[in-house]
Amino acid sequence: MTTGNCYILKFDSKQEIALETKQLKIFYDEYEAISAADLQIPRFKITALIGASGSGKSTFLRSLNRMNDGIASVQGQIWYRDLDLNSREIDVYAMRRQIGMVFQRPNPFPKSIYENITFALERHGITDKKELDERVETALRQAALWDEVKDKLNKSALALSGGQAQRLCIARAIALKPDILLLDEPASALDPISTAQLEETLINLKQQYTIVIVTHNLPQAARISDYTAHFSQGVVVEFNGTTETFTQPKIALTNEYVSGDFG
Amino acid sequence: MDKIRASILTPSRSSKLERRGKWLSLLCLGSICIVVIAIFGFITYRGLATFTTDHVSLSKFLTGTDWNPSVSKSGAPLVGALPMIAGSFLITILATALAIPFAIGTALMMTDVTPKTGTRILQPVLELLVGIPSVVYGFVGLTVVVPAMRNIFGGSGFGILSGTFVLFVMVLPTITSMTVDALTSVPKSFRYASLALGATRWQTIYKVVLRSATPGILTAIVFGMARAFGEALAVQMVVGNATLMPYSLVAPASTLTSVLTTGIGNTVMGTAQNDALWSLALILLIMSLTFNLAIHLIANRGSLKR
């Protein structure tokens, strides 16, 4: 363990970077929820954000695709394809097509399973029936839901179980073929079996997508992620490979958190 | 028997009180039911007298266009209620149709567009609109709307159109506040989900929020219609009270309620003129039951959970 307060891994040029924050600060009114986070999100990897409740990891995640607009004030830069997403010129709607998000509680629309997926596609101008069908099937297959719902695509999505509904939400997000998928504690409302299915889905998805996942479940972070960032009181105290973070943490705070000595 | 067993077996004071309370509330419920049933029974009994004792045929009553209960023709009084029925429906549909876009727009302002300022300004406005007595609306209609109609369309200014404008203001708060309820009951998570998929705010409002709230908004509209249909005083003050078919929106006309309020004091109980008014009341009652039924049907069929 080093004597410093923080350890943030920087990638060399061999690893492609999907997203990078520079001096990202997030305020709720006066309260500083995130202070100066510098984080590189590697492409085609799963990056887990862990930390105690209130450490700011969800706030950080939601800022990455500007879902905090109007809720919190976000300062600093979020670099994506040489563009600063946190600037005025960015069309947030077009940007969110590239950076999708799945929430803590499954939130399918009160529409049919099919319409849940085509909703966003149609909004973005895809109206060809054949292409829609294709996209729906591909997305459902990628989300490992196809076999369970292929015969009831026109049934209400509200009839799905929690785990199925969450996989539908993932399918809905990846049907847009985004670059990056942000997941905010996607398994916290699911039972262990559904969680296992979801984790398997995510591991398969990482071949094509960059995934950032907030989780309270440390074993889950250890199981599925390649890199782990530990948030504590609004600061990224450690960011490193998942194995390193969990087995040889460089920062005392992280050691306490991952070994359960916390609080 | 030991003390504890005894205390458990004998009914305590509070359990007796509880039973008494239960009977008391049941009594209240029962008496209200009796009142409602009595009103229904009475109106039905009196309303049917036109057809039983005065020998008016139902079809003549519903389709006849001459309303002159004091005149008898071929053994039955001239009671064709179609002008009033048409007037009531026309004024209700026009006022509600006019109010719907305003109500939905206002409600969206309060829930989605600018929730904070929208609610801060519009909530008190709506509450004020609800609180104004209908006679005041009628009076304003009489002094502002009727002369305006007279200046624009000529004639007397009294008529369906004036009634429509007055009723529009009166049903607006009803429809708006119920639409607000319907919109706020759409979970925030639907909105986030839609935005996170890259849908714009307008797409989110139109395709997700309004779609999910449709049953609630329909209920709001039916409530507004029920209120418009039943409103008597304000309408009576501006509609002109001529029992003629409303062929023109700016010619004096009448509604079921306006004929009732103007006529009921001038007739003698048990006469054909009086019976005819009761029949109008019966139609009003049936209509309000229909509105209620519609509300229940919409609420049941359209609920989010399937």
Q: For the segment B251-293, what is each residue's pLDDT rounded down to a tens digit?
A: 899 999 999 988 888 888 888 888 889 999 999 999 989 988 9
Range of the structural domain that residue A114 is part of:
7-258
Q: What is the mean pLDDT of chain B?
A: 89
Residue range B154-189, pLDDT digits in tens = 888 899 999 999 999 999 999 999 999 999 999 989
Whole-number pLDDT of residue A188:
85
CATH code for the domain of A178: 3.40.50.300
Give the lowest-confidence range in A41-55, B47-61, B63-77: B63-77
Tens-level pLDDT at each residue, chain A (263 residues): 444 688 888 888 888 899 999 999 999 988 889 988 899 999 999 999 999 888 999 999 999 999 988 888 899 999 999 999 988 888 989 899 999 999 988 999 989 999 999 998 998 888 899 999 999 999 998 888 898 998 999 999 999 998 899 999 999 999 999 999 999 999 888 888 888 988 998 999 999 999 999 998 899 999 999 999 999 888 999 999 999 999 988 888 888 888 876 54
CB A8 within 8 A of CB A252: no
The helix (run of H) or strand (run of E) holding residue A28 is strand A17-28
State which H helix or E strand residue A23 sits in: strand A17-28
Q: Angle A192-205/A162-174 helices, nearest 10 degrees?
A: 20
A1: nearest Cα among A224, A253, A263, A260:
A253
Interface residues on B facing A, Cβ-Cβ cutoff 8 A:
187, 189-190, 192-200, 203, 207-208, 211-212, 304-306
Locate the chain A residue with the closest alpha carbon to B207: A119
What is the pLDDT at residue A99?
Answer: 93
| Cβ within 8 Å, pair B195-A176 | no
H helices present in chain A, as ranges = 57-64, 92-98, 113-123, 129-142, 146-149, 162-174, 192-205, 218-224, 242-247, 252-258
Contact between chains at A94 and B189 (C-beta distance less than 8 A):
no
Contact call for A96 and B198, based on CB within 8 A: yes
Residue A163 in any domain: the answer is: yes
Interface of A with B (CB under 8 A): 65, 67, 93-97, 100-103, 105, 107-111, 119-120, 123-124, 156, 158-159, 169, 172-173, 176
In a domain, A238, yes or no: yes
Q: Where are the domains of chain B?
A: 82-301
Which residue, A121, A118, A169, A162, is CA-closest to A143?
A: A169
CA distance A244 to chain B (A): 32
Does some domain include residue A146?
yes
- In tens, the pLDDT along B131-151 reads 899 999 999 999 999 999 999
- Total residue count of chain A as it appears in this document: 263
Q: Would A2 be classed as within a structural domain?
A: no
CB < 8 Å to A105, chain B: 189
Contact by Cβ (8 Å): B297, B221: no
- B190 contact residues in A (CB cutoff 8 A): 107, 109-110
- Rounded Cα distance between A74 and A59, Å, is 10
Per-residue confidence (pLDDT) for residue A59, from 0 to 100? 92
* Distance of alpha carbon B216 from alpha carbon B212, whole angstroms: 9
CA distances B7 to B10, B13, B21, Å, are 6, 11, 22
A67 contacts in B (CB within 8 Å)? 192, 195-196
Q: Which two tokens stand for residue A203?
A: 């591991």
Assess if residue A63 is contained within a domain.
Answer: yes
Closest alpha carbon within chain A to B189: A107
Give strand pairing partners of A22.
A77
Predicted confidence at residue B304, as pLDDT, reads: 47
B188: nearest CA partner in chain A: A107
Q: Give CA–CA dist A21/A28, Å, rounded.
A: 19
- Residue B77, beta-bridge partner list: B72
Q: Which residues in A lie closer than 8 A to residue B199 (C-beta atoms)?
A: 93, 119-120, 123
Please, are residues A98 and B179 in contact by the beta-carbon 8 Å criterion?
no
B306 confidence band (pLDDT: 50, 70, 90): very low
| d(CA A3, nearest CA chain B) in Å | 40
CATH of domain B82-301: 1.10.3720.10
Find the CB nearest B203 among A97, A103, A123. Answer: A123
CB contact (8 A) between residue B305 and residue A109: no
Give me the amino acid identity at B136: V
Decide the pairing of beta strands A210-214 and A31-42: unpaired
Element (H, E) at A217: none
Q: How far apart are CA A170 and CA A100, in angstroms?
A: 9
State the first-to-last Cα distance of chain A, in angstroms, to the nearest integer: 20
- Using the beta-carbon criterion (under 8 Å), do B306 and A156 form an inter-chain contact? yes
- Cβ–Cβ pairs < 8 A, chains A and B: 70
Residues of B in Cβ contact (< 8 Å) with A124: 198
Q: Tens of pLDDT along B99-134?
A: 999 999 999 999 988 888 888 999 899 989 888 999
* Mutation target among B183, B197, B201, B209 for the A interface, most CBs of A within 10 A: B197
Span A196-216, pLDDT tens digits: 988 998 999 999 999 999 998
* Per-residue pLDDT, A261: 64
Model confidence at B218: pLDDT above 50: yes
Q: How many domains does chain A have?
A: 1
Cβ <8 Å between A105 and B196: no
In a domain, A245, yes or no: yes
Q: Residue B5: what pLDDT?
A: 85
Q: How far is CA B70 from CA B39, B262, B264, in A?
A: 26, 15, 14
Which residues in chain B have Cβ-Cβ distances shorter than 8 Å to A103? 189, 192-193, 196
Q: Cβ neighbours of residue B34 under 8 Å, at least 6 residues apart? A: none
DSSP B12: P
A156: nearest CA partner in chain B: B306
Nearest CB among A67, A159, A173 relative to B195 is that of: A67
A75 forms beta bridges with A25
Select the residue of A94, A96, A108 nearest B195 (Cβ to Cβ): A96
Per DSSP, what are the bridge partners of residue A49?
A: A214, A229
- Alpha-carbon distance A15 to nearest alpha carbon in chain B (angstroms): 27
CB contact under 8 A, A111 and B203: no
In a domain, A17, yes or no: yes
Structural domain includes residue A241: yes
pTM value > 0.90: no
Rounded distance between C-alpha atoms, residue A65 and residue A182, angstroms: 8
